[in-house]
Amino acid sequence: MTVAAIAQTADEGIRIRRLSGRIGAEISNIKLSGNLSQAQVEEIRKALLANRVIFFRDQAQFDDEQQERFSGMLGSLVPHPTEKARLGTKGILELDAAAGNGKADVWHTDVTFVDAYPRYSVLRAMRIPEYGGDTLWANTVTAYHDLSPELKALAESLWAVHSNKYDYAAQHPHATADEQGHYEKVFASQVYEAQHPVVRIHPETGEKSLVLGYFIQRFVGHNHIDSNLLFTLLQNHVIRMENIVRWNWRAHDVAIWDNQATQHYALNDYDKQNRTMRRTTIGGEVPVSVDGRYSKTLKEPAKSR
């Protein structure tokens, strides 16, 4: 293990072990809670921005209350636009495979169908299957940097429409009737659409990042055939193996990711076993394109205004 692969703060004892060259780090020697010092929270935020997604093992003390309090130290806690928060909480979303809402087996960035989609997500593992159920994250900043100058120019010129209303059966061909029903009756019960630049400026680091994922329905000014071809071209750069880290969950693990610089994919390879996670999200800013234009809302339920 090289010195560069492990970092430690002299005062707090937090240890950071990088998991790959481009994305992911495991944080140890800390117990997450809503009572951390500001210095500890800033050290976590610094590690998050540097590594895109960070992981914490053995956080059994991190209950619903602690998760919400800790998330509030990273920014404003925001609920999901259509899914109900877990009973007794302000903004915890329970992702339960047995209930039909726990599978996210497509590459996506959380909630890009609204204009100011979340900045960070905090995910806590409750029940983990005996096998399968890993999650993968991809670095959308390094994906942009890998593009040729010509493809960078193309990507920077594109805007895309994102929506929570899409062809669920096509994206999830092995979905159960319960999963299809949950999508139609809950997740897509109210339709949202937002228009984002394909390349945004990260508000905290100033980096350029690709905004893609499977909430995209079309590219502005392009028909569906050309949109699909453009999406495949750019999305394939995001999910190159060099850009990806894979996490093998244990109960009481916690992952925090920068939703402004990543996509993720939860593997659906655990058969009928149970897999339950609890997620909080921290509110983000409206994305800004390389030429200074802002994302905008195209459609949202009237009652949310």
Count CB-CB contacts under 10 A for residue 87: 8
Tell me which of 18, 22, 45, 110 is the catalytic residue.
Answer: 110
213's CB contacts (< 8 A; 6+ apart) are 106, 107, 108, 109, 112, 162, 235, 263
Distance (Å, whole) CA 120 – CA 101? 20
Output the six-digit token pair for 21: 């060259």
Tell me which of 162, 196, 202, 279 is the catalytic residue.
Answer: 279
119 noted as active-site residue = no
Judged by DSSP in three states, 97 sits in: helix
269's CB contacts (< 8 A; 6+ apart) are 131, 132, 133, 134
Q: How buried is 152 (Cβ within 10 angstroms: 0-12 exposed, 13-18 middle, 19+ buried)?
A: middle
174 noted as active-site residue = no
Tell me which of 108, 182, 196, 237 is the catalytic residue.
Answer: 108
Distance (Å, whole) CA 119 – CA 100? 26
Find residue 109's DSSP bridge partners: none
Place of tokens 């999901």: 80
Instruction: Give one DSSP letter per residue of 104-144, joined into a string.
Output: --S-B-TTTTSSS--SEEEEEEEE--SS---EEEEEHHHHH
Distance (Å, whole) CA 78 – CA 92? 9
264 noted as active-site residue = yes
Distance (Å, whole) CA 243 – CA 137? 8
269 noted as active-site residue = no
Query: Could you list the active site residues?
Result: 108, 110, 264, 279
